[in-house]
C-alpha cells in the first residue's frame, strides 16, 4: 500500500515539474542513452546537491536573483513564455539542469546545442541601473556569467539552509565542478571556489536594480498560476527562498518576510516528508546509474543523497 501511494505521489510530482500529465520524464532517454560518464559522478558535489529536494527552493531563489539584473530580466520579459506557459518554461530549465548533471557527455553536448540555439534568438535592448539603454544577447558571456552565478549560489545557499545532506568536498567543490556545466554554452571562465563566487556576486551589485518591470516579474514569481494545493505549498517555498537572499536583495525587492520560525523548520520538514512520500523511485538517477553500471564507470559505493 505504501509503495503504491509513493509511486502515485512520485508520478504527480514529476507531472508538475516536467509538464507531462503521465508523470513520465520526457528527457529520460537523454539521461539513459550513451556510454560512459557525463560531467559528474554520483559521489561528486553537483550530482549529490541536484538530487536533493532543496533544489525546489533553490530554483525559486535563482529566478528572484536573476530578475534583479535588467539584462536577464529583459530576456525573460521579451522572449520567455513564462506567463502563458509557466510550467513549460520550468520544464525547460529542469531539463537542462538534469541532463547536464546526470547524462553522458554526448547528451550534455546535444542539450547545450539546444540551449545555444534558443539563446541565439534572445536579443534586444534594456535600460541599465543608470538608465542607459544597452543591447543584450543571451549568449553574451557577461549575462551568461550572471545567470550561472544566480543559479549556482542559489542552489548552494538553499541546500545549506534546508538540507541535511553533506556536499562532497563542500561549497568549493560544488562551485568548481559546476563551472563545467556552462563551458558547452560558451562560458569558459567561472569562479573556482566559494570566495571567487562571492567576489563575482559583489562585482555585479552595481548593475542590479528593481524597476516596475522587475516588480511585475517578481510578483509573478511570488504568485504563479499553480493548482490550488501546490499554490499553498509554494507560498512556504517562496518564503524559504526569499529568506536566504542577502539583506540588500531583500531590501531591493521589498516583499514582507514571514517570521523565521514559521519558515525554516516547516520547510525542512516538508522537504523531508516529500522525499518520503515520493519514495526511493527516481527515474533520472536510476537511468544514469544504470548507464554508468553498463559501461563500467559506476563508483564502488554510491554517495548518500536522500532518496
216 SS3 class? helix
Q: Report pLDDT digits (tens) over 8-27.
A: 666 777 766 776 677 788 88
The full set of domain ranges for the chain reads 40-100+107-276
- pLDDT range class, residue 92, cuts 50, 70, 90: confident
pTM: 0.91
Q: Report pLDDT digits (tens) over 212-255.
A: 999 999 999 999 888 787 888 999 999 999 999 999 999 999 99
In degrees, to the nearest 5, what angle opens at C-alpha 144 toward C-alphas 139 and 146? 150
Give Cβ neighbours of residue 154 (< 8 Å, ≥ 6 apart): 58, 59, 61, 62, 65, 241, 244
Mean of the pLDDT values across residues 185-198? 96
Asked if 115 contacts 96 with a C-beta cutoff of 8 angstroms, the reply is: yes
Separation CA 201–CA 148 (nearest Å):
11
Amino acid at each position: 500500500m505504501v509503495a503504491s501511494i509513493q509511486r502515485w505521489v512520485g508520478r504527480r510530482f514529476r507531472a508538475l515539474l516536467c509538464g507531462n500529465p503521465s508523470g513520465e520524464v520526457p528527457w529520460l532517454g537523454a539521461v539513459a542513452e550513451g556510454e560512459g560518464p557525463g560531467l559528474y559522478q554520483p559521489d561528486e558535489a553537483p550530482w549529490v546537491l541536484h538530487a536533493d529536494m532543496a533544489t525546489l527552493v533553490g530554483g525559486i531563489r535563482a529566478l528572484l536573483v536573476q530578475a534583479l539584473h535588467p539584462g536577464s530580466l529583459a530576456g525573460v520579459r521579451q522572449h520567455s513564455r513564462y506567463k502563458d506557459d509557466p510550467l513549460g518554461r520550468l520544464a525547460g530549465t529542469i531539463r537542462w539542469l538534469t541532463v547536464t548533471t546526470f547524462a553522458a557527455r554526448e547528451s550534455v553536448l546535444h542539450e547545450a546545442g539546444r540551449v545555444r540555439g534558443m539563446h541565439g534568438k534572445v536579443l534586444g535592448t534594456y535600460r541599465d541601473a543608470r538608465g542607459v539603454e544597452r543591447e543584450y544577447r543571451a549568449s553574451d558571456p557577461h549575462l551568461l556569467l550572471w545567470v550561472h552565478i544566480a543559479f549556482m549560489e542559489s542552489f548552494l545557499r538553499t541546500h545549506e539552509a534546508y538540507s541535511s545532506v553533506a556536499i562532497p568536498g563542500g561549497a568549493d567543490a560544488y562551485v568548481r565542478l559546476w563551472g563545467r556545466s556552462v563551458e558547452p554554452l560558451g562560458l569558459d571562465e567561472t569562479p573556482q571556489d566559494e570566495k571567487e563566487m562571492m567576489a563575482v556576486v559583489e562585482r555585479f551589485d552595481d548593475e542590479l536594480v528593481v524597476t516596475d518591470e522587475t516588480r511585475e516579474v517578481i510578483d509573478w514569481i511570488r504568485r504563479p498560476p499553480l493548482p490550488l494545493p501546490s499554490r499553498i505549498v509554494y507560498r512556504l517555498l517562496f518564503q524559504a527562498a526569499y529568506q536566504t537572499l542577502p539583506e540588500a536583495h531583500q531590501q531591493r525587492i521589498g516583499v514582507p518576510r514571514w517570521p523565521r520560525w514559521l519558515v525554516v523548520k516547516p520547510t525542512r520538514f516538508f522537504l523531508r516528508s516529500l522525499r518520503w512520500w515520493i519514495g526511493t523511485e527516481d527515474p533520472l538517477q536510476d537511468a544514469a546509474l544504470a548507464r554508468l553500471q553498463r559501461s563500467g564507470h559506476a563508483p564502488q559505493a554510491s554517495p548518500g543523497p536522500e532518496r
